């Protein structure tokens, strides 16, 4: 990689863009609302149940100038969700600054395992056991979404929630491939722990992206 390109990547002026699309948001607090998704390639968390494993390899995706990403986004929606992969591997300041100048609401989906950059209206923290969140993000996350694959994940969710700010919305989401097994467990847990809510991947039920 040429030094100039590498510098722009480090500074956040170029990003490995896996895909971008306009759709109905399927998960968490904002499910059911329209949003433009920007999926950034590259992730080293390595969740065995990840349903977007093709996003892991940074080298597979073109490096795209943030100006180009923003120009496409502004034609579609006044709300952008930046997801991955793991977006915070990269500097999100240039992209989100340009979006905010256009009065586009910026939403982040992150594991929290990397330093927080960017200017955000909403932060969805989806922590992973393989690489835990950094401390700072706990105090500013708007939404905590924990994926439930087995019984052990409930204890993980409770321990993570001890660090979260009091205004953060708490969600448990069944891992898609194991949903029939864990959904009854989630229902039982939430009936006993009323601060939590269910998140479902409604976009998969609707058969949309």
| pLDDT score of 200 | 92
Contact yes or no for 37/81 (Cβ under 8 A): yes
| pLDDT score of 47 | 84
CATH number for position 28: 3.20.20.70
Query: Per the structure block, which two tokens stand in for 148?
Result: 């439930």
pLDDT of residue 199 exceeding 80, the answer is: yes
Residue ranges making up the domain that contains 44: 3-205
- How many whole angstroms separate alpha carbon 68 and alpha carbon 74? 10
pLDDT of residue 4 exceeding 90, the answer is: no
pLDDT of residue 6 exceeding 90, the answer is: no
Within the chain, how many helices (H) and strands (E) appear? 7, 9
pLDDT of residue 209 exceeding 80, the answer is: no
| pLDDT score of 5 | 87
pLDDT band, very low/low/confident/very high, at 51 (cuts 50, 70, 90): confident
DSSP-based three-state secondary structure for 142: coil
Contact yes or no for 65/14 (Cβ under 8 A): yes
pLDDT of residue 1 exceeding 80, the answer is: no
pLDDT band, very low/low/confident/very high, at 13 (cuts 50, 70, 90): very high
| pLDDT score of 202 | 87
pTM higher than 0.75, yes or no? yes
Mean pLDDT value across residues 67-85: 95
| pLDDT score of 196 | 98
pLDDT band, very low/low/confident/very high, at 181 (cuts 50, 70, 90): very high
| pLDDT score of 104 | 97
pLDDT band, very low/low/confident/very high, at 49 (cuts 50, 70, 90): confident
DSSP string, 92-139: -HHHHHHHHHTT-EEEEEE-S-S---S--SEEEE--BTTBPPPHHHHT
pLDDT band, very low/low/confident/very high, at 58 (cuts 50, 70, 90): confident
| pLDDT score of 141 | 98
The phi and psi torsions of 82 (rounded to 5 degrees) equal -100, 120
The count of domains in the chain is 1
DSSP-based three-state secondary structure for 172: strand
């Amino acid at each position: 990689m040429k030094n100039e390109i590498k510098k722009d990547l480090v500074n956040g002026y170029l990003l490995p863009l896996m895909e971008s699309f306009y759709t109905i948001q399927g998960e968490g607090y904002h499910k059911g609302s329209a949003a433009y998704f920007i999926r950034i390639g590259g992730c080293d968390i390595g969740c065995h149940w990840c349903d977007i494993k093709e996003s892991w390899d940074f080298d597979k995706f073109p490096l795209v100038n943030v100006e180009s990403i923003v120009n496409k986004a502004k034609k579609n929606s006044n709300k952008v969700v930046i997801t991955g992969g793991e977006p915070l591997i990269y500097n999100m300041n240039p992209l989100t600054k340009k979006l905010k100048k256009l009065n586009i609401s910026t939403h982040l989906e992150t594991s929290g395992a990397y330093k927080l950059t960017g200017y955000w209206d909403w932060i969805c923290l989806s922590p992973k056991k393989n690489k835990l969140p950094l401390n700072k993000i706990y105090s500013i996350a708007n939404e905590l979404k924990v994926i439930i694959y087995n019984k052990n994940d409930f204890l993980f969710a409770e321990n993570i929630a001890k660090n979260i700010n009091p205004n953060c919305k708490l969600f448990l989401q069944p891992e898609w491939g194991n949903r029939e097994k864990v959904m009854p467990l989630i229902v039982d847990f939430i009936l006993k722990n009323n601060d939590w809510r269910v998140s479902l991947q409604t976009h998969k039920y609707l058969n949309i992206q």
